[in-house]
């Protein structure tokens, strides 16, 4: 009996195979795009710096040279922040879409970013927090509270936590938390001045001293995302079938929830409440890999940083001599993606 159950389980949890050549080409493309975005982030800016100077600043730095200082103190930190925050948001989006079985799940759409933002605002206004490392603890708590509330509300009723109910709960919670944020900021002008720059979702003025301490949290979240990938393949079959195949649904959802809180909390504390990265990236990955979450998670880890860093570079180019924050550029690019997804779901009759 055990052997009979083992064979269907392994077959059922194995997603449809994608041609290996497609995956290899996609992986090479992802690496190339990531490399190009990093190079552009170091080369492009209001100050023109030759590639040979960038190379020299990275491997033979001379603080007496202004160009080297610009590279080391401005462009390298914002590139690192973009890579870390993009990695976290891409993985968090893939996890959220997998665990909720909702194609439009995103840390911003399901209220997680709003929860993190509300608690960060509380930290700024009431506890005098000013650093990213200080923000992160408030962001973790806020993300966890928001995720818990959304899941509890979405679980009400006989059908349990359906994708539609989770999306509606997330939208309602985002509206409520946004109102509370506004109330707090209107009562504290100094907190509003500090919050408005952070809330735009910018990679500017985020130094390595603030970004690198958050890297271990993102690393732990990434490891948990890798662990959860196979669980998500089982959850994609539906709760009843996943349970019948021996998947512990509680454990799977706890692992995903902890990973999402760590990833969203770190990214929000580091770069502000950036939306749409977690929405678009998993769909691009799924287009290449098919429904296998082991590959979706892997590709999201490359496409997330690429999208956020590229958006930051685009923001520098289109508004010279000023620049547009990366979060605003990503939102502008992500809105059409959301509209296309909604139309696709509507046409499919889901």
Q: Which residue in 3, 9, 29 sits closest to 287, CA to CA?
A: 29
* 89 has pLDDT over 80: yes
Tokens at 157, concatenated: 């009723």
* Global confidence as pTM: 0.85
Distance of CA 67 to the CA centre of its chain: 32
pLDDT at 1: 36
pLDDT at 341: 63
Half-sphere exposure of 1 (CA within 13 A, CB side): 0
CATH number of this structure's domain 32-40+48-348, picked from the four choices 3.40.50.720, 1.10.760.10, 2.60.120.380, 1.10.3470.10? 1.10.3470.10
Q: Give me the mean pLDDT over the 230-234 stretch.
A: 89
Q: Give me the mean pLDDT over the 39-67 stretch.
A: 89
* 300 has pLDDT over 90: yes
Distance of CA 58 to the CA centre of its chain: 28
State the pLDDT confidence band at 160, using cuts at 50, 70 and 90.
low
* Four-residue CA torsion sign, 98, 268, 210, 136: negative
Q: Give me the mean pLDDT over the 48-56 stretch.
A: 90
pLDDT at 349: 44
pLDDT in tens, 236-293: 887 788 888 778 888 888 898 899 989 988 888 888 788 788 888 998 898 888 889 9
pLDDT in tens, 176-196: 998 999 898 888 877 777 777
CA geometry: angle 312, 338, 158, nearest 5 deg: 130
Tokens at 169, concatenated: 């709960």
Q: Residue ranges of the domains in the chain?
A: 32-40+48-348
Q: Which residue in 106, 101, 21, 93 sits closest to 296, CA to CA?
A: 93
What's the rounded Cα separation, in Å, for the pair 312 and 2? 53
Q: Please, are residues 293 and 233 in contact by the beta-carbon 8 Å criterion? A: yes
What's the rounded Cα separation, in Å, for the pair 53 and 142? 43
* 350 has pLDDT over 50: no
């Amino acid at each position: 009996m055990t052997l009979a159950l083992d064979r269907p389980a392994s077959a059922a949890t194995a997603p449809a195979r994608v041609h290996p050549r497609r995956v290899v080409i996609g992986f090479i493309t992802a690496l190339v795009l990531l490399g190009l975005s990093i190079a552009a982030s170091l080369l492009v800016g209001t100050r023109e710096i030759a590639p040979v100077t960038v190379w020299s600043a990275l491997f033979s730095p001379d603080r007496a040279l202004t160009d080297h200082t610009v590279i080391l103190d401005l462009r390298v930190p914002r590139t690192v922040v973009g890579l870390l925050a993009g990695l976290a948001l891409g993985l968090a989006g893939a996890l959220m879409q997998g665990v909720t079985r909702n194609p439009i799940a995103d840390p911003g759409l399901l209220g997680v970013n709003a929860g993190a933002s509300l608690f960060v605002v509380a930290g700024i206004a009431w506890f005098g927090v000013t650093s990213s490392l200080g923000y992160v603890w408030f962001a973790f708590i806020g993300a966890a509270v928001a995720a818990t509330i959304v899941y509890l509300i979405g679980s009400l009723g006989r059908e349990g936590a359906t994708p539609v109910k989770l999306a509606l709960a997330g939208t309602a919670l985002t509206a409520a938390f946004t109102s509370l944020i506004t109330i707090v900021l209107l009562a504290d002008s100094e907190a509003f001045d500090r919050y408005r720059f952070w809330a735009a979702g910018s990679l500017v003025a985020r130094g390595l001293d603030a970004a690198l301490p958050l890297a271990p949290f993102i690393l732990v979240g990434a490891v948990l995302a890798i662990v959860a990938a196979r669980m998500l393949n089982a959850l994609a079959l539906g709760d009843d079938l996943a349970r019948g195949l021996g998947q512990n649904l509680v454990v799977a959802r706890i692992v995903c929830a902890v990973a999402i809180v760590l990833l969203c909390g770190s990214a929000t504390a580091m770069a502000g409440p950036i939306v749409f990265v977690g929405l678009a990236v998993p769909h691009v990955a799924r287009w290449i890999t098919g429904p296998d979450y082991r590959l979706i998670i892997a590709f999201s880890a490359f496409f997330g940083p690429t999208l956020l860093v590229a958006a930051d570079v685009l923001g520098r180019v289109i508004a010279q001599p000023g620049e547009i924050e990366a979060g605003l550029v990503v939102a502008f690019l992500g809105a059409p993606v959301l509209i296309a997804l909604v139309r696709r779901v509507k046409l499919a009759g889901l």
